[in-house]
Amino acid sequence: MKSAIQRHPLIVKPVFTYEIPTRRDQTSWRNWGGIQTEADVLQEVERIQGEIGELQATADFPVTFLPIAKVLNSRDIDKISDLDSADVLLVYAAGGWMEIFESLNNRGKNMILFCRHKSGPVYLWYEIISPRFLRQHTDSLAVKGVDENDVVIDSQ
């Protein structure tokens, strides 16, 4: 009788990137997207936790999701203690700036960039993930290790 192959769980680290705008007189001060307040952030983190729970319960392979990390800027990434233990970074790209994604990509981990369009509050990076990050303001893919196949829009 053959024994079953031991399957090790895939370790996934969810990372929620966002920005809370601050009003500034006589200038544009708010980014595009549906996450604008701390209450929006809390509601979205709760939504993500629910979706992750469903994914874990229905996956046909062993998977472990680490706690969600909330990231406002690239300095926050160094404070994530369990980032290096992950096999995959699942980045919920609601907001924040490009250096966040560059810093995460520099970790050498596989990355999935998730953007909302119709499945919840629209994410800023739904609109700009390709021109700003993947193509770095050029006409060709410019980021090593990440391409359009690593971007998921709405689909769980």
Question: Has residue 6 been placed in a domain?
Answer: no
Question: Has residue 12 been placed in a domain?
Answer: no
| pLDDT tens-digit readout, 38-76 | 999 999 999 999 999 999 999 999 999 999 999 999 999
Report whether pLDDT(27) > 80.
Answer: no
Question: Has residue 2 been placed in a domain?
Answer: no
CA dihedral in degrees (27, 33, 37, 40; nearest 10)? Answer: 170
Report whether pLDDT(29) > 90.
Answer: no
Question: Has residue 79 been placed in a domain?
Answer: yes
pLDDT number for residue 1: 59
Rg (CA), the chain: 17
Residue 42: exposure state from Cβ atoms within 10 A (0-12, 13-18, ≥19):
exposed
Question: Has residue 14 been placed in a domain?
Answer: no
pLDDT number for residue 25: 76
Question: Has residue 137 been placed in a domain?
Answer: yes
Question: Has residue 93 been placed in a domain?
Answer: yes
pLDDT number for residue 22: 76
Q: Rounded mean pLDDT of 107-127? A: 95
Count how many domains the chain has. 1
113 with 146: CB under 8 angstroms? Answer: yes
pLDDT number for residue 26: 75
Question: Has residue 82 been placed in a domain?
Answer: yes
Which H helix or E strand runs over 41?
helix 38-58
Structural domain boundaries, residue 62: 32-66+75-153
